Amino acid sequence: MSYLLKTNLSKIIGAAIAVLLFLSAFLSSLYFGQTAIVVDDIVQAFTSFNSSSINQLVILEERLPRAVLGSVIGACLAIAGALMQALTGNPLASPSIFGINAGALFFVVLSITLFSFTSLVQIMWMALLGATLAGVIVFMLGSLGREGMTPVKVVLAGAAISALFSSMTQAMLVLDENGLQQVLFWLTGSISGRSLDMLYPILPFIVVAVGVSMFMGNALNVFATGEDVAKNLGQKTTLLKIAIGVIVIILAGSSVSIAGAIGFIGLVVPHITRGIFGPDHRWLIPLCAVLGASLLVSADVVARLLIMPQEIPVGIMTALIGTPFFIYIARYGLTKR
């Protein structure tokens, strides 16, 4: 009992530190950028807003939406990655394994080059449709056969669908080279220029998906012992797999539809969280949300500072962080689910 109390206490302290890191990243996102501001500007922007103040307008209309979107997208991708790794038992699993990124990006290219959409909200809905379609196809292919849906079949189906949609995307861009510049930020991943208006329509779905995932900890812990063991303990594993798939599609699909292909958050954050707090999904899922938000917001701050006045798309920054991590996991095996 004493050991349990000490363990939980250490996790609580660690969780408090994680929240402080997130708050620091969020405030840094409001503070740092091309336009120099002071702390008083941030305080006054929220307490006594002055529409004639350029600095306060920059904070509320540019930096605040980026910080909020970065937080939401980072949390969604991290949770989706943790669920994917739990579902497949593969330490390299991430939302892109479902073909979600590839499906969303193909529909983005399709909407711009074929339908000439210009509204970011219209493009977002098309991306979400593509992500959903790709995820459903992967689940259908992964469920074929007597054994039903298995982790190996899901991984193979995801790889196949990703390759298919990526090839079609490249074909569309070859046919319409002028569309490449318009979709460049979707291909690399960026939260620059996005407004909160893109978040509001899909926020209820995200809230429900995140809320449900927070209560799946015990079920995921049982599932992690092995599917056969979970079945013998009375767990409805097929229902759990479907629930995980739906949540991953909502979280990852929504993220891609707003910001494009931001990779490695769903891969890196679950491993970091698991390494610090252990494999208990009751802690892993909520803390992945906090650390995922912190990592993406921090990466966005660095991306806007490195080569000012230009900015690096945040998807490139996460790739720079995630690629060595991916190689390390592939080489040394790191932690399992």
**Which residues, given as ranges, of the chain have pLDDT below 50?**
1-5, 335-337
**32 part of a folded domain:** no
**51 part of a folded domain:** no
**163 part of a folded domain:** yes
Q: What is the DSSP letter of 271?
A: H
**φ/ψ (deg, to 5) at 306:** -60, -45
- Write the pLDDT tens digit of every residue in 291-321: 999 999 999 999 999 888 888 889 888 988 8
* Among candidate residues 51, 212, 173, 204, the one with its CA nearest the CA of residue 220: 212
Rounded to 5°, the CA angle 20-192-64 comes to 45
**28 part of a folded domain:** no
* pLDDT of amino acid 182: 67
Q: Which residues of 264-286 are buried (b: 16+ CB within 10 A; e: fewer)?
A: bbbbbbbbbbbebbebbbebbbb
Whether 106 contacts 130, CB under 8 Å: yes
Whether 94 contacts 264, CB under 8 Å: yes
* pLDDT of amino acid 181: 65
CATH number at residue 133: 1.10.3470.10
**How many domains is the chain built from?**
1
Tell me the residue range of the domain where 162 lies.
Answer: 65-332
| Cβ count within 10 A of residue 256 | 32
* pLDDT of amino acid 62: 92
* pLDDT of amino acid 127: 85
- Write the pLDDT tens digit of every residue in 121-160: 888 888 889 988 998 898 888 878 777 667 778 778 888 9
Query: What is the residue-averaged pLDDT of the chain?
Result: 86
Helix (H, G, I), strand (E, B) or coil at 226: coil
**155 part of a folded domain:** yes
Whether 78 contacts 269, CB under 8 Å: yes
**43 part of a folded domain:** no
- What lies within 8 Å, CB to CB, of 203 at 6+ separation is none
* pLDDT of amino acid 9: 82
* pLDDT of amino acid 56: 92
* pLDDT of amino acid 333: 57
In this prediction the pTM is 0.90
**10 part of a folded domain:** no
**297 part of a folded domain:** yes
Whether 213 contacts 77, CB under 8 Å: no
Helix (H, G, I), strand (E, B) or coil at 245: helix
* pLDDT of amino acid 2: 44
